[in-house]
Amino acid sequence: MAAAPVEAFVEALGPEAVLTSEADLREFRDPYSFAGWDHPVPAACVLPASVEQVQAVVRIAGRHRVPLWTVSRGRNSPYGGAEPRVAGSVVVSLRRMDRVLEVDGELAYALVEPGVSFFDLHAAVRSAGHKLWISVPDLGWGSVVGNTLEHGWGFTPHGDHAASQCGMEVVLASGEVLRTGMGALPGCRAWQAHERGFGPSPDGLFMQSNFGIVTKMGVWLMPEPECYLSGWVTVPGEADLEPLIDTVRPLLLDRTIPNHPLVNGPASAGGLGVPDPGRWNLRFALYGRETVVDAQLAVVERAFSRIPGASVGGRKYAGADAGAAGPANDRVQAGVPGMDMLELMLARGGEHAGHLDFSPVCRLTGRDVTAMCGLMRALAGRHGVAYSPGLILTPRSVVHILPLVFDTTSEEDARRAHALYELLVTEMGRAGYGPYRAHVRYMDLAAGRYDFGDHAQRRFNEALKDALDPDGILSPGKQGIWPREMR
């Protein structure tokens, strides 16, 4: 990279906030890849510490036509981590912007910067003495903002993180700062309390995209319940997946079960605290006054009693005790961040295990889920990859996470996983199953499947990209959206 932009970054942010050494930049590479592979090597990494510094970075990049690649904490390992798409990019790491700016105990929300991890947010809420629970994904080291912007999932009633976001501050490619929703109204104190403001809501545009850099985000929290039940349902037979899904769906639609249950096979279930795993295992949670939780549990038990051999169990906690007790299973549904799932993967796959995640979506009916799982299993089997999925349920859909686990010391093993990934995007897409997110190397491929109206979505995104970022400096290629000059 030419010296001029680096100098400008150093002048704006200070020398410690501009990394250029090979060692420092190695972090911004797919963590599960090989040195010899074709990596887009970044030219530098900048570490802004404030909104003003993000504005300065964007303006310098615009002036010098340098592509940026923004990561919050960059912990997105199974999807390529912090690796950019274009060689010579300047990675904008937001990890120094790690302040929890506000926790509102009455209205149950937080306002966070993008460097705040789930561990950080959990600690901030606790240390301020609020009786509030956050929602966490399986690993707690990632960024709350980053996870949300990628449509990530947790396992409390606020587990659809994109839907539990309220109010953003965004630095645009022009260097301007936009506040969405009620944040656009000076003096308004409902920015994190009320979804939407006056006029169109752009929040969804800044997720899975490259239209702006989110510098603040509101996130809804839940009150610590009086009572918390971490429950499970096990069924014995392969074919029981269908009635399992069809029985849980009405309980999700009528909110008897208010969180996002996870369905998996025996291998994963064992490590997660289900005492006697079946062929398929569903974990769920109930939260609230104990009388209500008891009444809901009785409804759940009655519903599953229709499936021969099904078993329903659970561990009940006082809400105040849920953080300390129980296996990982119980903590994650109580919004307590951990690293257990990584340890579990290493324990099962070996200390050098890595994985790609392929994550298509389908309708939540027994018929649809069984068909999708059958297809996935067949494709994985043909390529010698174990089929051990985790299904995250919403009331009407399933996100089917299939980790393609491989030995990161075996390039052959890794290449096989990548070949399967590519095949899955293509073949599952052809069958009408699209991924909810994708590994950075397969973003073009995945986006290409969403081609209704001869790629109307791509043209729409490109029109927005050209309007909002005419110099094409923000994360070119992210999600398959390229600026004009790189198309």
- Quick check: is 287 catalytic? no
How many residues form the binding site for its own copies (CB under 8 A)? 106
Site for its own copies in 107-126 (CB under 8 A): 107-109
- For residue 484, state whether it binds its own copies (rule: CB under 8 A): no
Site for its own copies in 42-101 (CB under 8 A): none
Pick from 272, 447, 473, 474: which binds its own copies (CB under 8 A)? 447
Pick from 4, 87, 128, 163: which binds its own copies (CB under 8 A)? 163
- For residue 320, state whether it binds its own copies (rule: CB under 8 A): no
In this complex, which beta carbon is closest to its own copies, that of residue 89 or of residue 296? Answer: 296
In this complex, which beta carbon is closest to its own copies, that of residue 129 or of residue 199? Answer: 199
**In terms of DSSP bridges, do strands 262-264 and 213-220 run parallel, antiparallel, or are they unpaired?**
unpaired
- Quick check: is 109 catalytic? no
Site for its own copies in 264-283 (CB under 8 A): none
In this chain, which stretch among 307-315, 336-344, 347-355, 457-465 interacts with its own copies, using CB under 8 A?
457-465
In this complex, which beta carbon is closest to its own copies, that of residue 271 or of residue 390? Answer: 390
Pick from 463, 484, 485, 486: which binds its own copies (CB under 8 A)? 463
In the complex, minimum distance from the CB of residue 206 to its own copies, in angstroms, rounded to a whole number? 7
Structure tokens that stand for 12 in this block: 């704006």
CA–CA separation, 75 and 82 (whole Å): 7
In this complex, which beta carbon is closest to its own copies, that of residue 275 or of residue 374? Answer: 374
- For residue 10, state whether it binds its own copies (rule: CB under 8 A): no
In this complex, which beta carbon is closest to its own copies, that of residue 54 or of residue 405? Answer: 54
Instruction: From the candidates 32, 79, 317, 442, give the one annotated as an active-site residue.
Output: 79
- For residue 432, state whether it binds its own copies (rule: CB under 8 A): yes
In the complex, minimum distance from the CB of residue 174 to its own copies, in angstroms, rounded to a whole number? 9
- For residue 459, state whether it binds its own copies (rule: CB under 8 A): yes
Instruction: From the candidates 109, 436, 441, 442, give the one annotated as an active-site residue.
Output: 436
Pick from 475, 480, 482, 483: which binds its own copies (CB under 8 A)? 480
In the complex, minimum distance from the CB of residue 89 to its own copies, in angstroms, rounded to a whole number? 19
Site for its own copies in 241-260 (CB under 8 A): 249-250, 253-256, 258
CA–CA separation, 402 and 418 (whole Å): 13
In this complex, which beta carbon is closest to its own copies, that of residue 173 or of residue 385? Answer: 173
In this chain, which stretch among 138-146, 221-229, 345-353, 376-384 interacts with its own copies, using CB under 8 A?
221-229
Pick from 63, 65, 194, 306: which binds its own copies (CB under 8 A)? 194
- Quick check: is 436 catalytic? yes
**Any idea which residues carry the catalytic annotation?**
79, 436-437
